[in-house]
Amino acid sequence: MIKTRQFPKSLTRHSYWLAAMLPLMMPLSWSLRDVAGFSWIFAWLPLLVLYVLIPLLDVVIGRDLSNPEVRQRSFYPDDFIPIAAGVCHLAVLAWAVALVPELLAQYGWVALVGWVLSMGDTSATVGINVAHELIHRRDRAQRVLGGLMLASVWYGGFKLEHTRWHHVHVSTPNDPSSAARGDTVYGQVPRAMWLNTIQAWRLGKAAAEKRGRALPWLSNEVMGWCLISLLMTVLVGLAWGGLAAVAFVLQGVLAAALLEVINYVEHYGLRREMREDGRYVPPGVTHSWDCDYWLSNAILIQLPRHADHHTHPSRAFNQLQLNEPSPVLPYGYPLLVLVAMIPPLWRRIIHPHLPTAEASNPVVSG
């Protein structure tokens, strides 16, 4: 039985610095490269931390059932920690990409593969997750920082698609990121990446046309983020060579794919009820999975309190609530990402927790 605790709110308030510190796993791993026995394993250490150490610590530390007080936004930690995490991530990503040629020359292909996978997972865990928080902000500068972080993984369209489509159509067949019961990540993730990119382009084009731009395709915000991604890649190639540029693109593809795996975990099998008039009921707390493991929630700046995020999208991460009717995942995100890769195991673990009423997508009166 995993323990549930009431963690001190002051401790939780400062725990979100773990998100800003997580990218530092990369330089810490690099510092171990010449230690006996770590000649190539060092490049894989961030993955071991994310998918072995953190799930074990989740079980030991336990679940957090306490809800913070909903209050007015404050600069700390609401704004300062996500900004610090974003800047730290971008700096470490540039440093890690710059090391790619040296890493291959000295430690070989096995180390390089581990390094690129570690970059991609860090970009998803910190880069995209923190960007997700920032693009929901009203402050333009914070939204721009979020967009730059998404551009660094070649997924800038998420900035439009997530806020203007996913939040509107979540847990319906119209949302590519909301997996139906029985879907697997191997079909869901490529489909979501492709359809969400198309939808983001359509949204950007419509916004440009609404502003009366002469060339909507050129004024499309998604085009702007794609050009920034391309510029980043070219600069990487000019500074550190073609291999570094390829590694930069690959870590972005991996990060975007992992984002869609997490979307799979967050909404799997849940469906909003359809009214008699053919419209869906508004998104509620029963249409996203919640998760309450203190450590992984702190590292992910409370993204796993996902039901409240979808009912209050503008609410700061550190004020998100756990809601009693919400379906609750049995394990933390890091472990469930791995479980999702094994569809029979995923179904065996998740289906007993799946609300049957939501899965059947009933028609309700009203």
* Each residue's pLDDT tens digit, 151-186: 999 999 999 999 999 999 999 999 999 999 999 999
Question: With 80 as the cut, is the pLDDT of residue 361 above it?
Answer: no
User: DSSP readout, 212-279?
Assistant: T-S-HHHH-HHHHHHHHHHHHHHHHHHHH-HHHHHHHHHHHHHHHHHHHHHHHHHHTT--PPEETTSP
Domains of the chain: total: 1
* Each residue's pLDDT tens digit, 51-87: 999 999 999 999 999 999 888 888 999 999 999 999 9
* Each residue's pLDDT tens digit, 238-264: 999 999 999 999 999 999 999 999 999
How many CB atoms are located within 10 Å of the residue 210 CB?
9
Q: Which domain holds residue 74?
A: 4-364
pTM for this predicted structure: 0.94
pLDDT average, residue stretch 112-124: 98
- Burial-class residue 289 by CB neighbours within 10 Å (0-12, 13-18, 19+): buried
- Cα–Cα distance for residue pair 141/160, rounded to 1 Å: 16
**Long-range pairs, 240-247, Cβ under 8 A, ≥24:** 240/97, 240/98, 240/100, 240/101, 241/100, 241/101, 243/100, 243/101, 243/104, 244/97, 244/98, 244/100, 244/101, 247/97, 247/100, 247/112, 247/115, 247/116, 247/119
Query: Mean pLDDT over all residues of the chain?
Result: 94
* Each residue's pLDDT tens digit, 202-234: 999 999 988 887 677 678 999 999 999 999 999
